[in-house]
């Protein structure tokens, strides 16, 4: 069976999934960032996902310009390598967007404080 999810529905389903399975999500950042070779400020955050013995960590980096964050890169590239068996059945692109938005919100809060 195939189910089509819009963004809001996806967030709701994923949140329930995380709660039901007891998957632990930890989000953080590495501070105010660095300047790359193109004179752009790059700010990086991370997400660590734990389910029993499985631990997945991803680093999301953003360009910070005019008080806005835009995705710069993900390491390792979850769109290419996926999230392992933890999120089997969930589209990688939606997962990447979900965690990217969570990290961006976290970074914005840190920058404001």
Cα–Cα distance, 42 to 73 (Å, whole number): 10
- Percent of the chain having pLDDT more than 70? 95
pLDDT of 2: 60
Round the CA-based radius of gyration of the chain to a whole number and report it: 15
Compare 79 and 16 and report the one with higher pLDDT: 16
Cα–Cα distance, 49 to 53 (Å, whole number): 11
Q: Is there a contact between 59 and 107 (Cβ–Cβ < 8 Å)?
A: no
Q: If you average pLDDT over every residue of the chain, what do you get?
A: 88
Instruction: Kindly report the pTM of this predicted structure.
Output: 0.86
Cα–Cα distance, 79 to 95 (Å, whole number): 9
């Amino acid at each position: 069976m195939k189910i089509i999810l819009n963004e809001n529905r996806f967030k709701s389903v994923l949140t329930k999934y995380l709660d039901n399975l007891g998957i632990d999500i930890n989000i953080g950042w590495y501070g105010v960032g660095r300047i790359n070779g193109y004179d752009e400020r790059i700010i990086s955050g991370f997400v660590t996902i734990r389910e029993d013995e499985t631990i997945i960590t991803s680093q999301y980096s953003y360009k910070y310009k005019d008080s806005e964050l835009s995705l710069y890169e993900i390491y390792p590239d979850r769109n290419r390598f996926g999230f392992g068996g933890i999120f089997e059945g969930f589209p990688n692109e939606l997962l990447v967007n979900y965690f990217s938005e969570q990290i961006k919100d976290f970074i914005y809060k840190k920058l404001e404080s």
